[in-house]
Amino acid sequence: MGALFGGEAFRLRWQGFALIVPTVQVVSPKGNTIEGVGVQPDIEIPECVNSSSQCLEKAIKVVVNADP
């Protein structure tokens, strides 16, 4: 379905048709809705904004140098 919200299916009076309606809203631990926004990264990598070829290399460096 590609949706983040959980849904519930309701059968319609026409055979073979159903309506799926969102019935659940997912929020972040801070209480923010993430539908339509996505999960925001903890560390932004400017090289990744335009999907440059340096994006993966920079992300690997950030992970390798991160404090546990």
pLDDT above 70 covers what percent of the chain?
78
What is the pLDDT confidence band of residue 1, given thresholds at 50, 70 and 90? very low
Give the Cα separation of 14 and 21 in Å (integer). Answer: 17
**What's the pTM value of the predicted model, to 2 decimals?**
0.36
DSSP state of 48: G
Strands (E), the chain: 7-11, 18-22
